[in-house]
A and B are shown apart, each in its own frame.
Chain A
Amino acid sequence: MSNFNSDDDLIGLLKTDAKKGFSRIVEKYSSRLYWHIRRLVILHEDADDALQNTFLNAWKNLDSFRNESSVYTWLYAIATNESLSLINKRKKNSGIPLDDIGKYLACTTEGNIWFDGDEAEVKLQNAILSLPEKQRIVFNLKYYDKMKYEEMSKVLRTSEGALKASYHHAVKKIEKLLGEV
Chain B
Amino acid sequence: MKKLNEIPGKNPFKVPENYFEDVTRKIISETSGSESGISQRGTIRKMKPLFAIAASIAAFILISYTAFKIFIPGNTTHVVTGLSEQEFFETYLNDIDLLTLEEQAGTLTPVIDINDVNTSEITDYLLFININENEIYEFL
Q: Which residues of A contact B (CB under 8 A)?
A: 14, 18-19, 22-23, 26-27, 30-31, 34-35, 38-39, 44, 48, 51-52, 55-56, 59-64, 66, 113-118, 120-122, 124-125, 143-144, 171, 174-176, 178-179
CB distance A48 to B23 under 8 Å? Answer: yes
Number of A-B pairs, beta carbon distance below 8 Å? 104
Which of A27, A55, A56, A115 is in CB contact (< 8 Å) with B14?
A115
Contacts of A27 in B (CB 8 A): 24, 28
The verdict on B115 contacting chain A, using a C-beta distance below 8 Å, is no
Segment touching A, from B31-39, B54-62, B80-88, B106-114? B31-39
Pick from A39, A63, A144, A175: contact of B42, CB under 8 Å: A63
Contacts A39-B13, A66-B38 supplied; 7 other A-B pairs, CB < 8 Å: A35-B13, A44-B14, A52-B30, A59-B36, A114-B15, A114-B16, A120-B7
Residues from chain B with a CB closer than 8 A to the CB of A52 are 23, 26-27, 30
Beta-carbon nearest neighbor of A23 in chain B:
B28
When C-beta atoms are compared, the residue in chain A nearest to B29 turns out to be A23
A11 to chain B, nearest CB (A): 12
Q: B2 and A179: CB pair below 8 A?
A: yes
Q: Is the CB of B13 within 8 A of A124?
A: no
Least CB separation from A15: chain B residue? B38
Is A22 within 8 A of B36, CB to CB?
Answer: yes
A121 to B41, CA, bound (A): 47
Q: Which residues of A contact B28 (CB under 8 A)?
A: 22-23, 26-27
When distances are taken between beta carbons in the complex, the residues of chain A under 8 Å from B8 are 120
